[in-house]
Structure 1
Amino acid sequence: MRRVLTAGVTLMTVSALAACGAAGSGDEQLTVVMWGGADQKTHVEEAVEPWAEDAGVTVKQDSPSDYAKFRAQVESGNVSWDVVEVEPNFAHTACEKGWAEKLDTEVVDTSELKAEEVTDCAIPVLEYAFTIGYNTETFPGDHPTTWAEFFDTEKFPGKRGFWKYATGAMFEAALLADGVAPEDLYPLDIDRAFEKLDTIKDDIVFYETGEQQQQLVASGEAPLVQAWNGRIFSAAQEGQPVANEWNEHLLSYDQLVIPKGAPNADQAMDWMAWYVDHPEAQAGYANETGYGPITEDAVEHIDEDVLSELPTSPENAAKRAAIVDYAWWADNYDEVTERLNEWAAQ
């Protein structure tokens, strides 16, 4: 999984569009853009190709999602992408700025989706959680089960891994550790969060990719990390000594948006409607990746051993602290990013 790209930076993009195996019989096409790699391959195979085969649509792909390129395509009127996986703070901005198409809710039924995960221009494509990931050899017995314990370096010694990214829920975790009630998290008190982070700054190790995150916790270099649940899930599946602690997890999600002027916007909405209405397709992706589906109906299609590692499971959902408020982050991302970079460099 990606979770390394930002809205204000021009990013490398694969220039060639690779056709998927789902070749339609007519001229209709859909260009899908996600974060690339095995995750995109799985998502397209499980949740795009079945629709395309039935609809007679040729699926093409590009990667990774690139916010600067997204905006440039729209502003130049030369749009080649049809549906793009993005982070919700960018989806909010794109909708507000007119860079994204408004969804036709007569086509895309959003009534079964979490209201917090839907906007006029976007629906969720997956859910994931920021959990306490820990090394099971370093902590074979007691391990931190709250963010307050995560910040307690005396009781639980060792380095702490954080994603060096403003919207990576580091500030939410710091405020929860400092005693802020989950329902009072937003608007975030960034000054207070930095003060709490100062208390463990010498023990913080930053990661920028999912691979780095896994390596840090599995090797024991940072036996505790604020994790993306799917990364811990996949590492555990490979036999690494890691596990997710679900208490006080922070729920996050990615969204799908259609760039304004997309040449195949109608097909994009048709696929989005199909995806919402096909929980088995959502579950197929979840079973492979450890990232959650977007509707409750998908739960019955998820393997039992995988369900226990998803934020979607009833047991884990009950342990959630909060859903990340990406509308707040859309307004504050740039300012907090600048402060984070300055703080990390000190």
Structure 2
Amino acid sequence: MVRTRQPNDRLVARPRQRRRRRAGTQRRGRSLMVMKKARSAVALGVGAALMLAACASGAAEDKADDQPAGGSTGPVVAGEATPDAFKGSKFAFSGHGGTSQEAQDAILKDFAEIVGANYAPDGPPELAKIQAQVESGQVSWDLVVLSDVVANDPELCGTLVEKIDTSKIDTSNLPEVAPLVECGVPMNANGWSLAYNTEAFAGADDMTWERFFDTENYPGKRAIYSAIPQLQLEIGLLGDGVAVDDLYPLDVDRALAKYDSIRDDLLFYTTGSESQQMMESDQIVACLCWSGRVYTIIDNGGQWALSDEAPPQLRIDYWGIPKGGKNVDLAHAAINYFLGKEQQELWQTETAYPSMNRETDVELSEAADAVNVLDERFNANRVDIDFWVENQATLTDRWTTWVSQ
């Protein structure tokens, strides 16, 4: 079922719990253990299915269209995959790189080995590239990461990306904050957050959005993302004293004027890795950036923090299947595998991003907890996706012009 949201919905935060496994510690040693467990679950599921099949007789042949992805004969279960279901197929995934894609690759490669496919990672999944593939009829990517705007755009759903067949994916344990949409399955919830250098602001209270724009009392260079206005226009208004509940419709002139007030102290980054490099090399003292990039710095001993006095602006990234792809069933099966409990525990351990499975059981390390934007202390705000679906193109043009001035 597709869940709709009212504008300015606030997050319903789950209370923090102590977890058994520590996410963010011994980050590279856990993949094999997780995947062995996943394979065991697959083997048990397949064995049980074979036993049931041997005991059954006279059953009518199921229609192919009613079959869940991966050739399974029963209800799909997140995290499971059928051995050799796609033997010999090429499985091409396009992601955004960094630690996120490293974790995605670890999980999806294991999926490909189970189902007998040849895994081919690629990226980045730029919208123009997806459009070119679809329009030419030469779709080379089977699975991509979509922005929330693309996944929620009714003009692109069914034309640029396939509608999701929910009979082929177990979405029963998706978190409430990340709803399923017609053409996308939640992949990640990430917060556009205020990161700051704790040495540069030693002795000061936690940074607020207002203080991000106060370079007189809190001097130093700031960094923002050059590519898109989404999330950043909201932050400009928050920094100018606008209440969260009064953000929409956005006053774009006011937001840009607020950024103009510190233009001499602004640097622009074009990729997540560049923002991380700016923080690590002390080019900046504060940043509007992905929480996962800040986690990597903190985990490596860097003197950076996320402010819990500046509500992060939350966006959801989605799994998407390009329209007209050759392996639509394989893509559905891959998404279903990725949503498994063990796979999501690996995802959270490797990236410190939230799990998309409510059954995961991970104790956060100090570094991971420091960027856990879904924790109630951050009071994260979900952007009004309906506003952005309607206005993204126009505001992106205006943002690009402003950045280039």
Q: TM-score range by the shorter chain?
A: 0.7 to 0.9
Alpha-carbon spacing, 1:306–1:138, altered in 2? closer, same or farther (3 Å): closer
Any gaps of 5 or more consecutive residues in structure 1? 1-21
1:129-168 alignment, distance < 5 Å: 129-168=191-230
Q: How many residues are treated as equivalent by the alignment?
A: 320
CA distance in 1, matches of 2:177, 2:278: 35
CA contact (8 A) 1:284 1:302 kept: no
Matches within 5 A, 1:93-172: 93=153, 95-96=156-157, 98-113=159-174, 114=176, 117-172=179-234
Aligned partner of 2:321 among 258, 264, 271: 258
d(CA) in 2 for partners of 1:101 and 1:200?
A: 43
Matched, 1:340 2:399: yes
Give the 3-state SS of the residue equivalent to 2:308 in structure 1.
Answer: strand
- 4+ residue runs of structure 1 moved beyond 6 angstroms? none
Deviation at 1:255, TM superposition (A): 1.1
Q: What is the Cα deviation at residue 117 of structure 1? A: 4.3
Match of 1:78 in 2: 138
Residue type matched to 1:172 in 2? E
| Structure 2 CA distance for aligned equivalents of residues 325 and 117 of structure 1 | 14
Alpha-carbon RMSD across the aligned residues, in angstroms, is 2.6
Q: For residue 214 of structure 1, what is the aligned residue in structure 2? A: 276
The worse-fitting range, judged by mean Cα deviation, of 324-333 and 253-262 is 324-333
Match of 2:250 among 174, 188, 191: 188
Q: Is the 8 A contact 1:182 1:321 kept in 2?
A: no
SS in structure 2 at match of 1:121: coil
1:283·1:302 contact (CA, 8 Å) conserved in 2? Answer: no
Is the CA contact 2:139–2:324 (under 8 Å) kept in the aligned structure 1?
A: yes
Distance 2:275 2:242 in 1: 26
Q: 1:228 to 1:31 in 2, by over 3 A?
A: same
- Shift of the alpha carbon at 1:330? 2.8
Task: Report the TM-score when normalising by structure 1.
Answer: 0.83
Unaligned 5+ segments in structure 2 are: 1-38, 40-82
1:104-142 Cα offsets, whole Å, 9 max, x none, are 122224343336543200012122211111112211221
Partner of residue 128, structure 2: 68
Q: TM (normalized to structure 2)? A: 0.71
From 251, 257, 265, the equivalent of 1:203 is: 265
Query: Contact (CA 8 Å) 1:82, 1:262: kept in 2 or not?
Result: yes
- 1:36 corresponds to: 97
SS in 2 for 1:102: coil
With 265-274 and 208-217 compared, the bigger mean Cα shift is at 208-217
**Alpha-carbon distance in structure 1 between the residues aligned to 2:403 and 2:141:** 36
With over 3 angstroms needed to count, the CA separation of the structure-2 counterparts of 1:116 and 1:234, relative to structure 1, is closer
- Read off the aligned partner of 1:341 and give its amino acid letter: T
| CA spacing shift, 1:120–1:132, aligned 2, 3 Å | same
Cα offsets for 1:266-289 (capped at 9, x unmatched): 11112212322x122122122122
